[in-house]
Amino acid sequence: MTGEPGMPWPRPVPVIGDRTHAAQRAADPAGWAFDAGSVAALHAVVDARRDIRRYRPDPVPPDLLRTVLGAGHRAPSVGHSQPWRFVVVTEQATRDRAAVLADRERLRQAELLTPDRRARLLDLQLEGIREAPVGVVVACDRRAHATGVLGRATFPDADLWSCACAIQNIWLAARAAGLGLGWVTLFQPADLAELLHLPEGVQTLGWLCLGWPDERPPEPGLVRHGWSSRLSLDDVVLAERWPAEGSPQAPVSHLAGPRPEAVVAARDSGDDLLAVPGSLGVLDRAVDRVLALPGTEPGTGTLVVVAGEHPVAAAHQVSAYPASVTADVLAATRAGESLGAATARQAGLRVHGHAAVPSGAQGDLVGADALTRTAAAELVAEGRELGGQLAAHGLVCLGEVGIGNTTVAAALAGALLGLAPDDAVGLGAGADAGMLARKRAVVAAALERARTEHGPALAEPLPALAALGGPEFAVLAGITLGAAAAGVPVVLDGLVTSVSALVAVRLEPAAQSALVAGQRSRERAHARVLTELGLEPLLDLRLRAGEGVGAVLAAQLLLTALRARRTAGRVS
């Protein structure tokens, strides 16, 4: 058709491709958008995507698997190179071998982390390779030279980024269909490539576990486990250029060494054993430490569980449990039915439950001191007397219960060691990422208030204990001093007992020679406190229980090793 003079010719509209024209797009720039319902659905799927770790064994229908992989194949790729290759694995034997590779690498990577991060990594459920009915290994075929692919000459790794986009597409399509997907990268790439016979130049991006989920997490798993929190958008959007950043100062740390003459004398006493010196490793060193003490060698002992109340828990929601749990656990301990008491009975230890009750009012750390200076001193004296009494029955295992006391312990550790809140605060019992953030805020506010009010005095043990401690901390510090004065070993449990022992050592440094670190707990500051005390823990079991369970388990090992040292054959 021809146009009449002065009239525009009709625009040819292609039968394929983009049928719009510039005027159309100018008149409606947002005209390419989907309807509001579709946009909302897209964002719902994006928001609900999760890294799934638990799966049902039910099979994934082949047509649904193809649909999900098709979404991956529609991902953007540099130079339209489509470098992805999807290796679908369903054979049990291959999955078993892959699981072994992942388990091995998980342990290797854990050793590279801080104690707190290592514990959290090892606690994560990573059995998806075995559980999920389908494994998909996304491999990137990199055999085409970078200069031969549009866009890779300047960014050679853009082909890998393209494959990552394919993984994201697969993930979102799976989520929309109700499937779960977990991305496992705990492999040495060469090991996984060898398992799947990938040729030279084809690089794996890890293993995707795909199947029907046996969990439906409302938030990312690593957030729930306190590994990290999602940053706000403002934290990741930068204006114009990268901002300048300063380097954070290293935290203060001091190492307390053992008394050389006592350690050497104890070690010499074991040199005639029919065994290689140091055969029991860390346990041998703990035995040497005990034998160096002036008291009678213990054959048994007592678990003492000290309970304290903390206003900070109710005032600032820093615990997942109500304050009434403290009294319940103390009552169960006295009845011999708490986990700590039951563990102690199995170890042949006595059990003593003690309520730490201050004479004055208690503060919430943020607005006021935890204890008056007088109350703190009275509780230390009370504990000192109790420690002397307990020492008559052998070694003393320290346990505690007090809802909110991991927050208190973090604040006190921060004051005594100069730790920043991020380096001191851990999850505690049952906390999530939101509660972890509140605990950090509370500890930061408490430290700022205490430093403002007390100044340099806060570095001293008794003022710090009164300002940022609690009743059971004071009694535990006193028990440590009383038992140490009697020359018997004091076996520590978690962060609370260790911080209390640190107060005792700051008050009387010689008390350090009586301490045995029973375990390293999951709490973030615990390893720093043990380092300050110069102690290496006997156990690292990632225990969640308090109440002295770790101390009792370690005491069993220690008493067994002491008996073995006495009865083992000797050389002339």
Q: Is the pLDDT of residue 358 over 70?
A: yes
Q: In what order do the strands lie in the sheet with 490-492?
A: 350-355, 301-307, 395-401, 490-492, 515-517
- Does residue 531 have a pLDDT over 50? yes
**How many residues are present in the chain?**
572
Structure tokens, 494: 């978690």
What pLDDT band is residue 263 in, cutting at 50, 70 and 90? very low
In the chain, the N- to C-terminal Cα span, in Å, equals 117
87 pLDDT above the threshold of 90: yes
In contact, 441 and 425? CB cutoff 8 Å: no
Nearest Cα neighbor of 312 from 442, 454, 449, 448 is 442
The contacts of residue 192 (CB under 8 Å, 6+ apart) are 98, 101, 137, 198, 204, 206, 207
Mean residue pLDDT of the chain comes to 86
Residue 197: what residue type?
H
**What pLDDT is recorded for position 219?**
79
Q: Report the candidate in 377, 429, 423 with the shortest Cα–Cα distance to residue 404.
A: 429
- Dump pLDDT digits (tens) for 534-551: 889 999 998 877 899 999
DSSP string of 337-402, one letter each residue:
-SHHHHHHHHTT-EEEEEE---SS----SSSS-SS-HHHHHHHHHHHHHHHHHHHTTSEEEEEEE-
At residue 393, the pLDDT reads 96
pLDDT tens, residue by residue, 417-426: 998 988 888 7
Say what the alpha-carbon torsion angle 461, 418, 397, 297 is, to the nearest 10 degrees: -80
What number of other Cβ atoms are within 10 A of residue 253's Cβ? 11
Question: Cβ(362)–Cβ(310) under 8 Å?
Answer: yes
* Residue 47 Cα to chain centre, angstroms: 25
Q: How confident is the model at residue 453 (pLDDT cuts 50, 70, 90)?
A: very high
Average pLDDT over residues 500-522: 91
Instruction: Considering only residues 408 and 280, tell me which one the structure prediction assigns the higher pLDDT.
Output: 408
- Of the candidate ranges 109-113, 241-245, 490-494, the one whose mean pLDDT is the lowest: 241-245
pLDDT band (50, 70, 90) for residue 121: low
The CA distances from residue 568 to 29, 271, 428, 531, in Å, are: 87, 12, 41, 32
66-79 core/surface letters (b: 16 or more CB in 10 A; e: else): eebbebbeebebbb
DSSP structure class, residue 177:
T
Q: How confident is the model at residue 1 (pLDDT cuts 50, 70, 90)?
A: very low
